[in-house]
Amino acid sequence: MAKKPWYQNPEMIVAFSALVIGIVTTFTSIYSAAIDRAYARASVWPSVEIARGYGYDSFRYIVSNNGTGPAVIKYAKVTHDKKYLSQWRDINVFEEVTQSHIGKTVLSAQKTITPVLYKGNKVDDILKVDNLISIELCYCSIYDECWIVNRDNNPRPIEQCVIDDKHKFLQ
């Protein structure tokens, strides 16, 4: 009886089939894990926006998280006429304001904070100064994916939130 080549033996065909199934299963598992990680990140993705609101007797800045997960705000940077501020009261027209801390906080999903609120008759003066104010926030997701957002509300991803202490807004 003639000897069959090794690849025609039934045991080798079964072994080769098992190998192919194992490889397909491995790639399917890797792909599934990647999809699961992407879904987990998307399910807790923060989206911070900065806005302002005003009426004839009030003015406020609003910071909201319209994403699906918490935003860990690492720092705030506020400038007025290209000068770094440490608090809102560094601007004369903001002497009589109600302030909330924004420099380092956790903003839950679908929540809003008002870092500064003014009520009074100087709204027109504040609106003139408002054009010279720049606000920048650096925030991260719980997976340490970080973004910087300013008043244009176009977040851009960055590796990590780093700021010089002398530029940090302390309020």
Domain of 122, CATH number, reads 2.60.40
> Please, which pLDDT band fits residue 9 given cuts at 50, 70 and 90?
confident
pTM above 0.85, yes or no: no
Identify the pLDDT of residue 1.
57
Residues 107 and 137 grouped into a single domain: yes
∠ Cα 86 45 112 (to 5°): 45
Residue 14 covered by a domain = yes
Do residue 82 and residue 113 come from a single domain?
yes
Residues 14 and 82 placed together within one structural domain of the fold: no
Domain count, the chain: 2
Q: Does residue 2 belong to any structural domain of this protein?
A: no
Q: Are residues 36 and 94 in the same domain?
A: no
| 57 and 72 assigned to the same domain | yes
pLDDT in tens, 13-55: 888 899 999 999 999 999 999 898 888 877 889 999 999 999 8
Backbone angles phi, psi at 80, to 5 degrees: -130, 120
What pLDDT digit, counting tens, does each position of 50-104 carry?
999 998 899 999 999 999 999 999 999 999 999 999 988 888 888 888 888 888 8
In this structure, are 144 and 80 located in the same domain? yes
Q: Give exposure, 87-120, as e/b (b: 16+ Cβ within 10 Å).
A: ebeebebbeebeeeebbebebeeeeeeebbbbee
Residue 169's nearest CA partner among 127, 130, 133, 135 is 135
pLDDT at 122: 84
**Domain containing residue 35:** 9-43
Give the chain's largest Cα–Cα span: 108
What is the reported pLDDT for 117?
93
Beta bridge partners of 156: 148
pLDDT at position 130 over 70: yes
94 and 24 housed in the same domain: no
DSSP state of 152: T
